A and B are shown apart, each in its own frame.
Chain A
Amino acid sequence: MAGDGSVKLIDEKTGKRTDGRKFNELRPTKIEVGVLNNADGSALIYMGNNKILAAVYGPRELHPKHLALPDRALVQCYYRMSTFSVAERKSPAPSRREREISKVISDALNSVILTKDFPRTTIDIYIQVLQADGGTRCASLTAACTALADAGIPMRGIISGVATGLVNDTVVLDLHDIEDQKGSGDIPIGYSATLDEISLLQLDGVFTIKQFEEAVKLAIEGAKQIYEIQKKALREKYALIRAEFAGESEEEEAEEEDTIEIVSQSLAESEASVDETAIDEVESEELEEKKTEEFSEVEEVSEVEEVSEVEEQDLVSDIAKELNDELDDEKELEEDITSLETGEPEKNNEAITDDSSESVENETEHKEIDDLEE
């Protein structure tokens, strides 16, 4: 909760904050995706001294069944702070604060996930704060949404979380621990740069309406920067996969056997993702079957797919166009993704005739790229 604002946290001469940042500057932020092998998707965010891990499972079967929603997937988020993540040891029991944060984060994510594509299932998001440095709910939201993209969960857009606050009557971006405690206000915001939507908003402290307006504007600017970091993190993962695969492609025949085995473990494992790329190239029918089995849990959704296929084709061509424009900047990286995509439509058509459940997976992959590029 906010303090009374009596502590000097901004240097009057230089306008710099206690950690040397300007009022509109984010802390150094880095995101890594696919850091956990067993989760379907994962992300680790470093934001200042925050270190937060997010893991995503699903869409998967929901227990107990009576909680299932007949028309869409349930999105369950568990935000937990490690006992050693804060100055005073935190009790390991989930606090009311953690439960509230879990609720607001799952509400926010619920607004972008295409939950109607997966009725009766659950999408579980586990967030573990390893080290807290203020603004953990925002960093958690950022990490969770990146992990969802990594898991290939179809989404309308990506949410980026950032807090703005009031320190010595100045609106500042991305509060760190001391500013959070001693400042006079804090507004955590979840914002999607592509959709121009606010999906999370809380506030404590004392703001005039004008300061509130200013703070929201600043948060949106910050969220846009974080969105770029999220995109970069997701791109990097696929560039790595591509690079790894390029080295292996000569031994295609030999690799195929191993590939099948790994794919059957988990699709979203980083290794497995390598193999997905491999699948596009080798188009092994055997592999397709294996993957179909993986998705037998979500077979029920097959009716919805026919429609979304068409939309996807459009999306893919849009993305391809966009990619060409950007080629100058990131030539190598983009080429990787383009070739990833151009492989897809063919595979889609096959999938429709083959087995409709296969298309669930295709959509997942598309949305992932969609998220990357949008």
Chain B
Amino acid sequence: MSDDYVVSEIEKDYILTLLDQGKRIGGREKQEHRPIKFELNFVETKAEGSAIVTLGETKIIAGVKATLGSPFPDTPDSGVITTSAELSPIASPYYESGPPGDDAIELARVTDRAIRESHCIDLSKLCIVPGKYVWILFIDMYVLNADGNLIDAATLASLAALSTTKIPKVKLNEEGEPEVLEEKETLELDHYPVTVTSYKIGKHRIIDPILKEERIADCRITFGFDEGGHIVSAQKGGIGVLKPDELIPIAKECLEVSKSYRAELLKAIEEFKKGN
């Protein structure tokens, strides 16, 4: 895992000294994210929806596949969303191939939580025959180039992919069994949640770190926000700690950044829809 990536003491000192002066490598502000680029519907013929998101040098592709399946027994009239993430060596020499490690599982689950808890997808619309047939949406993410802040990039990628998702229409035959038709309809999203991760380096807080900054951070905390500015998910990571009185200032900082992330996402979606 990227745990093997070691930042030299000299570089660490350099980053910290810069931060003390209120500066960062690359000249960004502490609460300023890198430029974001979206390539929507990249896997145009096979996937139900897809997108590549480039956040600085971090690049993630997300694809959505829909299959018919049975619902969970406790939610018979709701569709199912499952997310997965893969950190393969394609993204970094520090990743190994094989089954997903803890970092990949956490990445997928934090992204999943923001999507699920914000209720941006109306799961009841994914139900075909209650208790029997529902759509299962698989949101699968592959990190293509890892340069820090995977969580925020992954959420942007999965939301961008969902925004392009079209699900086949279904007709019930005489026996009441579903038949998948050629015709597709757009998956409606009520709004677009985004996650913002704040990293604590000594007494400083930054967002959207590059790998070097991320590696010397003490800990991170991710907040998911819906469009109304509600916190819909949070996850603290890393072995450092947070003081109780830091939490609210961090949440407010992240909320500001979330507006910028969302504006970029909405702009890309609008341009894509115009092009079609």
Taking Cβ atoms with an 8 Å cutoff, the residues of A that contact B are 1-2, 4, 88, 96-97, 99-100, 102-104, 107, 110-111, 187, 191-192, 195-209, 212-213, 216-217, 220
B116 near A212 with CB under 8 A, answer no
Is B243 in contact with chain A by the CB < 8 A criterion?
yes
Known contacts A88-B73, A99-B102: A202-B241 contact under CB 8 Å: no
- Do A206 and B117 have beta carbons less than 8 Å apart? yes
Interface residues of B in 203-257 (CB under 8 A from A): 219, 221, 223, 226, 229-244, 247-248, 251-252, 255
Within 8 Å CB of B106, what residues of A?
Answer: 100, 103
Q: Mark B91-133, 1 if CB is under 8 A from A, else 0.
A: 0000000000010011011000100111100000000000000
B interface: dominant SS: mixed
B8 to chain A, nearest CB (A): 15
- How far apart are the CA atoms of A288 and B9 in the complex, in Å? 42
| Cα–Cα distance between A72 and B250 once the two chains are bound (Å) | 30
Q: Which residues of A contact B226 (CB under 8 A)?
A: 206
List the B residue with the shortest CB-CB distance to A203: B234
A202:B248 contact, CB within 8 angstroms: no
Binding site for A on B (CB under 8 A): 73, 102, 105-106, 108-109, 113, 116-119, 219, 221, 223, 226, 229-244, 247-248, 251-252, 255
Can you name 20 A-B residue pairings with CB atoms under 8 Å? A104-B237, A107-B239, A110-B239, A111-B241, A191-B244, A192-B241, A198-B247, A201-B236, A202-B234, A203-B233, A204-B113, A205-B232, A206-B226, A206-B230, A207-B232, A209-B251, A212-B231, A212-B248, A212-B251, A216-B247
Main secondary structure on A side of the interface with B: mixed
Question: Judging by beta carbons under 8 Å apart, are A107 and B238 in contact?
Answer: yes
B233, B241, B252: the one contacting A198 at CB < 8 Å is B241
Question: Which residue of the partner chain, among B73, B240, B244, contacts A111 with CB atoms under 8 Å?
Answer: B240
Given A198-B236, A213-B247, do A207 and B230 touch, yes or no (CB 8 Å)?
Answer: yes
A195 engages B241 (CB within 8 Å): yes
Query: Nearest chain-B residue to A181 (Cβ)?
Result: B74
Residue among A2, A88, A103, A203 with most chain B CB within 10 A: A203
Beyond contacts A104-B237, A207-B232: 8 other A-B pairs, Cβ-Cβ < 8 A, are A97-B109, A203-B232, A206-B118, A206-B119, A206-B226, A208-B229, A209-B229, A209-B252
Of the candidates B231, B238, B243, B247, the one having the most CB atoms from chain A within 10 angstroms of its own CB is B231
- The CA-CA distance from A94 to B203 in the complex, in Å, is 37
Contact A96/B231 with A107-B237, A110-B239 known, Cβ cut-off 8 Å: no
Q: Are A100 and B231 in contact (CB under 8 A)?
A: no
Give A298 to B113 CA distance when docked, in angstroms: 42
- 7 nearest CB pairs, A to B: A203-B234, A197-B241, A110-B239, A201-B236, A198-B242, A207-B231, A204-B117
A199 to B241, CA, bound (A): 5
Contacts of B219 in A (CB 8 A): 107
Query: B233 contacts which of A99, A204, A213 (Cβ < 8 Å)?
Result: A204
Q: Is the CB of A209 within 8 A of B242?
A: no
- Bound complex: CA of A221 vs CA of B109, how far in Å? 29
Q: In the complex, which of the residues A99, A187, A191, A220 contacts B105, with contact meaning CB atoms closer than 8 Å?
A: A99
* A28–B255 CA distance with the chains assembled, in angstroms: 37
Q: Are A200 and B236 in contact (CB under 8 A)?
A: yes
- Whether the pair A209, B117 counts as a contact (CB closer than 8 A) is no
Q: When chains A and B are docked, how far (Å) is the Cα of A197 from the Cα of B238? A: 14
Residues on the A chain within 8 Å of B73, using CB: 88
Q: B244: which A residues are within 8 A, CB to CB?
A: 191, 196, 198, 216-217, 220
